[in-house]
Amino acid sequence: QVQLQESGPGLVKPSEILSLTCNVSGGSVSSERNYWSWIRQPPGKALEWIGYISNTGSTSYNPSHKSRVTMSLDTSKNQFSLKLSTVTVADTAMYFCARDRFGDYLDGFDIWGQGTMVTVSS
Amino acid sequence: SSELTQDPAVSVALGQTVRITCQGDSLRMYYATWYQQKPGQAPILVIYGKNNRPSGIPDRFSASDSGNTASLVITGAQAEDEADYYCNSRDKSGEQRVFGGGTKVTVL
C-alpha cells in the first residue's frame, strides 16, 4: 500500500523559497503512468492544485504559480519535491502531496499525504 | 478564479438525500472526481470516473453527470457524512487540473 509523507520547514520568511519533500513508501516514484501532485489549502479556504510531475520527470504547473514553481523527482530516495520561490503571506497554507492517476481510468488523486502546514512570516 | 463552480453549502436531514453539484465547461469532456474532507484531515477520494467508488467508500455515495454539470449524491445521509466536498477535473486544455470551491455539507 503506497503511503505519502510530506516534510519541510513549517515557517518560511517572505521573499524566500519554500521547499517541501514528499516521501513515497510502499511503491516507486518511477512506476509507470504515475504522476505526483502538490495541492495546497490556505486556512479556511478551498483546495488548490499547484502542479504535478510524472514518473519520467515531465511537469505541469498551475498557471497562477508557474513562474515560481519547480517540481523535481529523486528516484534514488523515492521522493518528489516542490520549490516555491518569492513567497508571500498568501502562500501560507497546508500543503499536501498526492498520487495523481492522470490520464488513466481513475484520473484523480487516489492517495494523499497527511499534509504539512507552512506559514510565511517574518 | 476557479473554473469549476460549487455551491458553498448545503444541508440535509439525517437519512435523506442530498445532491452536490459542480459546474464547468471542461466537464463536458472530462469526468469529475470527488473528495471528502473532514476538519483537520486530508481529503479522501469518494468517486471517480463515470460513477466508481474506491474500496471502503459506502454505496450511498454515487455520481451522475449532465452536460457541464457533475453531481455527487449521498442517498441516506449519515452524521459521519458531514464534511466539505470538492470536485476536481481537468481544465479546458486538458493539461492541468482544477478544483471546485468546495461545498460544506451539514447533516441535520
Q: How far apart are CA A116 and CA A6, in angstroms?
A: 6
**Cβ neighbours around B95 below 10 Å, total:** 9
Phi-psi region of B8 (alpha: psi -120 to 50; beta: other; left: phi over 0): alpha
Interval A77-87: pLDDT, tens? 999 999 999 99
Amino acid present at B22: C
Q: How far apart are CA A109 and CA B25, in angstroms?
A: 21
CB contact under 8 A, A48 and B86: no
CB contact under 8 A, B48 and A63: no
Chain A residues with beta carbon closer than 8 angstroms to that of B72: none
Percentage of the residues of chain A whose pLDDT score is greater than 90: 93
Query: Are B7 and A46 a contacting pair, CB within 8 Å?
Result: no
Chain B residues with beta carbon closer than 8 angstroms to that of A49: 88, 96-99
Which residue reads 486530508 in cell numbers?
Answer: B42
Q: How far apart are CA B99 and CA A51, in angstroms?
A: 12
Quick one: cell of B69? 454539470
3-state secondary structure of B24: coil
Query: Are A37 and A55 a contacting pair, CB within 8 Å?
Result: no
pLDDT of residue B1: 45
Interval A26-51: pLDDT, tens? 999 998 888 999 999 999 999 999 99
Question: B5 vs chain A: nearest CA distance in angstroms?
Answer: 12
By the CB < 8 Å criterion, does B88 face chain A?
Answer: yes
**Mean pLDDT across B76-94:** 96
Chain B residues with beta carbon closer than 8 angstroms to that of A61: 96
